[in-house]
Structure 1
Amino acid sequence: AREEKPARKTLFDQFDPNGNGYLSLAEVDKGLIEQFQLDSGSQFATKRCKPAIIRAFQAAKDVSGSTEGASAEYVTRSEFRLLLVYLQRYFELLAVFDEVDSGDDRRVDADEFARAVPKLRSWGVIVRNPAAEFKKVDANGGGQVLFDEFAVWALKRGLDMLDDEPEEGEESLVEQHKGADAEASKAAGVAGSRSGGDSA
């Protein structure tokens, strides 16, 4: 909202101590620790939240579509609002992931996923066939799901732990994942047709 803009400007300036107008991942990390006391004096919380911070940072810096110059590797002032939106969303997804990860080993197996079906239902995701759905989540077929894979799946399925209205810009996260999926499928198709051609 417009009334939040001055507060965001101040916050960006606090995250950007050298005043160059760009935020690196390290500056975002440091800003979260200093401005929100994220780690309460230890590195545990930041380490625990790191997968969510990385996902949010990558998504925000890619919004502009720039592939050259500093803006391709950093979050700019104009992308900062989306960084905050994405941090909130990915922190929420990380909290869900931690709930599903009953073994507390930062990965989810098929049994843990099946046991979490009632929780997933309470967050708006109906899973009728846990084994088949787990295969969809486990994009690389490794038998264990890491946070990145879980986040992609959860965003596509519209999982919402907080049951709140989506923030403006949040829908672009889903679009990014759909685009990445389309590119991956296209690449797989090209690779398949090449290997098919070689065997003929």
Structure 2
Amino acid sequence: MSGQMSKEEVKKLFNEFDNGNGHLSLAEIDRAITHRYPQLGTNKKAIMRAYKEADSSGNGFVELREFRKIIQLLHHYDELSKLFEELDTNDDHRISYPEFKKGFSLLGEDDTDEQFLRKEFNSIDTNRGGYILFDEFCMYMAKRKVN
């Protein structure tokens, strides 16, 4: 699955995923990706995040007009999920400050100033839970990409 598909290829893939009602539920997308693209199918966090973002109408389904976006987002969030997993060295599905500090260079940064790192960590931890969750990490990486 590539983000650079023609309109015809996108429509054909949508029809493969669709059960015939013209829109895709999360279950349809998950099942199709798991079956057709097993390399992405195991990454449930990426699938869920891409699904939520692609549903621009907010109706809980992905229609054909939103489908190209989910294809692009799946690749993007799959890559972010892999990076998140590298930072999450104890595999508890969240990044602690020590993990963040140790892995900050994985984000392409070399600043090791303790005050800066703590401030950066706290800005990512928007729910103030003391850990960075995947959604918070995605938001942070999106802001970094824009700036």
TM-score (norm 1): 0.65
Q: Name the aligned partner's letter for residue 80 of structure 1.
A: F
Shift of 1:126: 6.0
- What CA distance in whole angstroms lies between the structure 2 residues aligned with 1:3 and 1:33? 20
Residue among 17, 35, 41 paired with 1:15: 17
After TM superposition, the runs of 4+ consecutive aligned structure 1 residues lying more than 4 A away are 125-128
C-alpha change, 1:156 and 1:3, in structure 2 (3 Å) is closer
Q: Which position in structure 1 is the counterpart of 2:47? A: 53
RMSD: 2.1
Match of 2:97 in 1: 110
Asked which structure has the greater RCO (Cα within 8 Å, sep 6+), the reply is 2
Residue deviations 1:68-91 (CA, integer Å, cap 9, x gap): xxxx21000011000101111111
Offset, 1:38 = 4.0
Q: Describe the SS at the equivalent of 2:6.
A: helix
Aligned residue number for residue 188 of structure 1: none
Taking the aligned partners of 2:121 and 2:37, their CA distance within structure 1 comes to 35
Alpha-carbon distance between aligned partners in 1 of 2:70 and 2:123, rounded to the nearest angstrom: 27
| Residue equivalent to 1:33 | 34
* Residues 2 and 58 of structure 1: CA distance in aligned 2, closer, same or farther (over 3 Å): closer
Q: Which runs of 5+ in 1 are unaligned?
A: 40-44, 159-173, 175-200
Of 59, 62, 69, 1:75 maps to 62
Cα distance in 1 for partners of 2:110, 2:73 equals 24
The alpha-carbon deviation at position 52 of structure 1 amounts to 1.3
Equivalence for 1:142: 129
TM-score, scaled relative to structure 2:
0.87
Taking a change above 3 Å as real, the CA distance of residues 100 and 3 of structure 1, as seen in their structure-2 partners, is closer
Q: Distance in 2 between matches of 1:99 and 1:12?
A: 32
Structure number, greater radius of gyration: 1
2:7 corresponds in structure 1 to 5
Distance 2:74 2:47 in 1: 6
Could you tell me how far apart the structure 2 residues matched to 1:55 and 1:28 are?
A: 12
Alpha-carbon offset, residue 156 of structure 1: 0.7
Q: C-alpha displacement at 1:3, in angstroms?
A: 6.4
Please say which of residues 5-14 and 26-35 is displaced more in the overlay. 5-14
Shift of 1:28: 0.5
- Give the aligned partner of residue 168 of structure 1: none
